[in-house]
Structure 1
Amino acid sequence: MKLHQLEALVASAEAGSIRGAARTLGLSQAAVTRALRELEESERLPLLIRAPEGITFTEHGKVLLMHARLVLNQLDHAHSDLERLRGRVEGRLMIGVTPWITLTFLAEAVRLFRTRMPDIRLELFEGLMAVAQPLLRDGSMDFAVGQLHPGASVQEFACEPVLNYESSVMVRDGHRKARARSIHELLDEDWVLNFATDGQSDLVDYLFTRHGAQLDERRIVRAQSVATLQTMVEKADMCTWCPTILSRVPPFGGRLRPLTLRETFEPRQLGIVTRRNSTLSSAAITFVQCLFDVIRRHARSARKEDLALFETLELLV
């Protein structure tokens, strides 16, 4: 298994064809085809399914593709770190950020990072963890600022704690169930929730089953973005469960109402989520430090807005 073969495999996946991969790599189609055939021969496994409309991957190919992306991304990190040691700071940093961090601390952290590492190409991916996890898994994303869902593999991901935060069942202001006092009063409502592909049963157990409530899971709409979640709550009268802090900050403040239920939900933990055993680049480490500095500054502040934020947050760093 050679580096140019892995590059051909990843480029073919991203382009959807060998011709597209050849353009991306600046090689001939014959060279890319040869690299892929040599890879299949060396592994003694079929990796690609070739068709006139393009290529797809066998199950063996999908597994190898995930590892190939990880290898190439780690090599990019190594290159960036070596360039830093040579005195040239360059490279790309891709970060997944949970929406409530985007609405509170992110802008200041980015400004601080830009003063410390102005040559890094920063890519911010606002996404709930169900969206970020696949990108962490294949190495496309350096790290995520978020919270692992119940059922997420602790063997696959690691999480460095930053904050504990409260969570609440919420409805729009003026909802017919705004005075509900138990999760059992909400079982005839539609719900919009975010969870990983394999995480629905764990989340349903956490929100309902352990409290003796049985929700028809056909009532659940899975949202892949906070904008979708917000629209379903405000325009479709759905219930949701999310960080309480969202009810304190624009654009949600005054529009989402946390319900005071008899059932309690333990504080959740937000952290720096990485693929276990991966190595963060120097740029990633610097960004994490910038974020920590900003959060600590707000935690020590006596401003009314900051005091309101930290009524629902507990600093862990």
Structure 2
Amino acid sequence: MKLHQLEALVASAEAGSIRGAARALGLSQAAVTRALRELEASERLPLLIRAPEGITFTEHGKVLLTHARLVLNQLEHAHSDLERLRGRVEGNLMVGVTPWITLTFLAETVRLFRERMPDIRLELVEGLMAVAQPLLREGSMDFAVGQLQPGASTQEFACEPVLTYESSVMVREGHPKARARSIHELLEEDWVLNFAPDGEADLVEYLFTRHGARIDPRRIVRAQSVATLQTMVEQASMCTWSPTILSHVPPYGGRLRPLALCETFEPRQLGIVTRRNTPLSRAALAFVDCLLQVIRRHARSAKKDDLALFRTLKLLI
């Protein structure tokens, strides 16, 4: 297994064809084809399925592709670290950010980071952890600011706690069930929730079953983004469960109503989520430090808006 073969594999996956991979790598189509065939021969496994409309991957190919991406990303980090030792701080940094952090602390964090490391190419991926985890797994994302999904492997990921936040069942302002006082009053409503592909059972247990409530799973719509979730709450009158802080910040403040239910939901923990046993780059550490500076500054503030934020947040560091 050679580096140029792994590069050909990843480029083919990203381009969707060998021709596209050759163009991206600056090689001939024959060179990319040869590299892929040599890789299949050395592993004695079929990795690709070739068709006129493009290529797809066998199960063996999908497994190897995940590791190939991780290897290439680690080599990129190694190159950045060597450049740092030469006195240059360059490279790329991809950070996953949970939506409510985007609405509160992200802009100040990015400004501070850009002042500190102007030569770093920064990419921000706003998304719930169900979106971030696959990118962390393959190594294309350096770290995420969020919460591990129920069922996420603690052997695969590590999470350094930053703060806890309250969560609430919410509906739109003016919803017929806006005065509901129990989860049992909401079982005939439609719900929109976010969860990982293998996380629905844990979430249903947390929200309903442990409180003696049984909900028809067909009433639950899975949303992959906060924008979709918000649209379903506001325009389709669905119920949701999300960080309470969303009801305090634009554009959702005044449009979402947390319900005062008798059932309680323990504070959730937000942290810096990384691949376990993978050290963060200098740029990643700098971004984390900038984020913590911003959060601490707001936590100490006596401004009205900040006091409202930290009624639902508790700093752990």
TM over 0.5: yes
What is the distance in 2 between the residues matched to 1:150 and 1:182? 24
Displacement after TM superposition at 1:279 (Å): 2.3
Displacement after TM superposition at 1:85 (Å): 1.4
| Matched residue type, 1:151 | G
Map 1:248-259 → 2, pairs under 5 A: 248-259=248-259
1:121-175 per-position Cα deviation (integer Å, ceiling 9, x unaligned): 1111111111111111111111110111222221221111001000000001110
3-state SS in 1 of match to 2:90 = coil
Instruction: Kindly indicate whether residue 195 of structure 2 is the aligned counterpart of residue 209 of structure 1.
Output: no
What is the distance in 1 between the residues matched to 2:275 and 2:199? 18
1:79-135 per-position Cα deviation (integer Å, ceiling 9, x unaligned): 111111112211111111001000000000000000100011111111111111111
What is the distance in 2 between the residues matched to 1:241 and 1:6? 42
Moved more, 273-282 or 200-209: 273-282
* Counterpart for residue 74 of structure 2: 74
* Counterpart for residue 143 of structure 1: 143
3-state SS in 1 of match to 2:56 = strand
* Counterpart for residue 26 of structure 1: 26
Normalising by structure 1, what TM-score? 0.99
Instruction: Kindly indicate whether residue 106 of structure 2 is the aligned counterpart of residue 106 of structure 1.
Output: yes
What is the distance in 2 between the residues matched to 1:161 and 1:284? 16
What is the distance in 2 between the residues matched to 1:196 and 1:275? 17
Moved more, 107-116 or 144-153: 144-153
3-state SS in 1 of match to 2:104 = coil
Displacement after TM superposition at 1:234 (Å): 0.6
Instruction: Kindly indicate whether residue 271 of structure 2 is the aligned counterpart of residue 265 of structure 1.
Output: no
What is the distance in 1 between the residues matched to 2:196 and 2:217? 15
3-state SS in 1 of match to 2:155 = coil
Map 1:232-311 → 2, pairs under 5 A: 232-311=232-311
What is the distance in 2 between the residues matched to 1:149 and 1:33? 39
1:286-313 per-position Cα deviation (integer Å, ceiling 9, x unaligned): 0000000110111111111111111110
3-state SS in 2 of match to 1:103 = helix
Map 1:119-134 → 2, pairs under 5 A: 119-134=119-134
| Matched residue type, 2:248 | R
What is the distance in 1 between the residues matched to 2:256 and 2:294? 26
| Matched residue type, 2:4 | H
1:3-31 per-position Cα deviation (integer Å, ceiling 9, x unaligned): 11100000010011111111111111111
| Matched residue type, 1:230 | Q
Instruction: Kindly indicate whether residue 89 of structure 2 is the aligned counterpart of residue 89 of structure 1.
Output: yes
Moved more, 88-97 or 183-192: 88-97
3-state SS in 2 of match to 1:64 = helix
Runs of 4+ deviating beyond 2 Å: none
* Counterpart for residue 313 of structure 2: 313
Displacement after TM superposition at 1:36 (Å): 0.8
Normalising by structure 2, what TM-score? 0.99
| Matched residue type, 1:116 | R
What is the distance in 2 between the residues matched to 1:262 and 1:180? 9
* Counterpart for residue 53 of structure 1: 53
Displacement after TM superposition at 1:277 (Å): 2.0
Gaps of 5+ in 2: none
Moved more, 57-66 or 144-153: 144-153
Superposition CA RMSD, Å: 0.8
1:35-65 per-position Cα deviation (integer Å, ceiling 9, x unaligned): 1111111111111111111111110100000
* Counterpart for residue 199 of structure 1: 199
| Matched residue type, 2:199 | G
| Matched residue type, 1:80 | S
3-state SS in 2 of match to 1:288 = helix
Gaps of 5+ in 1: none
What is the distance in 1 between the residues matched to 2:288 and 2:101? 13
| Matched residue type, 1:91 | G
